[in-house]
Amino acid sequence: MSTANRPYPIVQDLIESFAAWLKHRRELNEMRQLDRSEFDRIAGDLRIAPDDLEELVRHGRHAADELPKMLEQLGISAEGLGRVQPLLLRDMERVCSLCAHKAQCDRDLADGTAAENYHGYCANASTLESLDRADHAHH
């Protein structure tokens, strides 16, 4: 929807942000209502530690949005990687979601300098470096 069709775009954006925040709060409350054994079973099914699952839910569904952008700037196809090594990609998403350097990453991605700078802060750096880019480059 263009700005011309939205009489109050800033207000609409705030309402949408608030709605997303409320949805996330409901998801957190649902998670807290699970008993510990059920929660641990779900974490086990997902093959991650219960503490990591709790942290991932707390961060929300967009916590790993930087990863596909990083892969793209490195010339690695996220789709190709997902086909060839889906568990590796999922683990990289988990690591990205739990990252404490989002602001630096977002700046570098926006500036187009992530490929040069990620080594200094990215928790996925060693994995990214080990990928054979020729096997995963834009399939």
For position 22, what pLDDT does the model report?
73
Q: What is the mean pLDDT of each run of 10 residues along the chain (139 residues)?
A: 62 72 72 78 81 73 86 92 90 88 94 94 92 52
* Separation CA 72–CA 107 (nearest Å): 15
Q: What pLDDT is recorded for position 36?
A: 81
CB 124 within 8 A of CB 96: yes
In the chain, domain spans:
3-59, 66-136
SS (H, E, C) 84-103: HCHHHHHHHHHHHHCCCCHH
Closest CA relative to residue 97, chosen from 49, 65, 130, 51: 65
CA–CA separation, 103 vs 114, rounded Å?
12
